[in-house]
């Protein structure tokens, strides 16, 4: 499901924030105030996932400078999140992660963002059948201050994401919002952008 250009699906769920369990956490609190990078990951206590979660924590100051809230989400419970956040990194934990980790235990958030792996169906006897694991792919969504999704990326589970690329896309969106210029391939802050016109493209390509 393509969510770009649409309102980000709303939710309320338990989350772990700065090491404590918080009930009824949602993204509506950021509307009108902050951009949001909402990312999904498959499971707590796994292998690629901690590299990403700790990576986002290490880059938190860069997101803060851009007025971006970082929020993680998986189908694990808030108690699993809490245990992982309170486990030392040398023992496979992510101790020190302070941004919110949402517990999508009912799998409704992952489903509404269309990142839920596995297949469900009801057989002829009325039994629920599941093929594969109902866990989240590595989905990432950049949501603007109006609550609109402006960028989405979904990786298969073995493929870790680039936090540098996430920051680059945030910079590109904010540059467009501030100056009205569009950002070409591999654009970074300080690079030349383009006016959205045939003349602007011609001028950019001639340099």
- In a 3-state reduction of DSSP, which class is residue 42? coil
Report the Cα–Cα distance between both ends of the chain, in Å, rounded. 38
CB 167 within 8 A of CB 149: no
The C-alpha atoms of residue 138 and residue 159 are separated, in whole angstroms, by: 8
Catalytic residue list contains 129:
no
User: Which of the following is catalytic: 49, 73, 129, 183?
Assistant: 49
Strands (E), 41-186: 68-74, 101-103, 119-122, 128-131, 138-143, 149-155
CB 35 within 8 A of CB 66: yes
Strands (E), the chain: 13-17, 20-25, 35-40, 68-74, 101-103, 119-122, 128-131, 138-143, 149-155
CB 181 within 8 A of CB 175: yes
CB 15 within 8 A of CB 101: yes
Residue numbers annotated as active site: 49
């Amino acid at each position: 499901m393509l969510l770009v250009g649409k309102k980000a699906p709303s939710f309320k769920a338990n989350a772990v924030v700065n090491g404590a369990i918080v009930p009824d956490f949602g993204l509506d609190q950021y509307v009108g105030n902050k951009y949001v990078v909402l990312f999904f990951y498959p499971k707590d206590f796994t292998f690629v996932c901690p590299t990403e979660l700790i990576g986002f924590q290490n880059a938190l100051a860069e997101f803060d400078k851009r007025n971006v809230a970082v929020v993680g989400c998986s189908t694990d419970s808030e108690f699993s999140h809490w245990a992982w956040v309170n486990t030392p990194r040398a023992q496979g934990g992510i101790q020190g992660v302070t941004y919110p980790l949402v517990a999508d235990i009912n799998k409704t958030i992952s489903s509404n963002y269309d990142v839920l792996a596995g297949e469900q169906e009801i057989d002829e006897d009325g039994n629920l059948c599941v093929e594969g694991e109902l866990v989240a792919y590595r989905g990432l969504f950049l949501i603007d201050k109006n609550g609109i999704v402006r960028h989405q990326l979904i990786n298969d589970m073995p493929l870790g994401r680039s936090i540098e690329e996430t920051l680059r896309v945030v910079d590109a969106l904010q540059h467009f919002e501030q100056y009205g210029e569009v950002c070409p391939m591999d654009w970074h802050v300080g690079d030349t952008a383009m006016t959205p016109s045939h003349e602007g493209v011609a001028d950019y390509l001639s340099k």
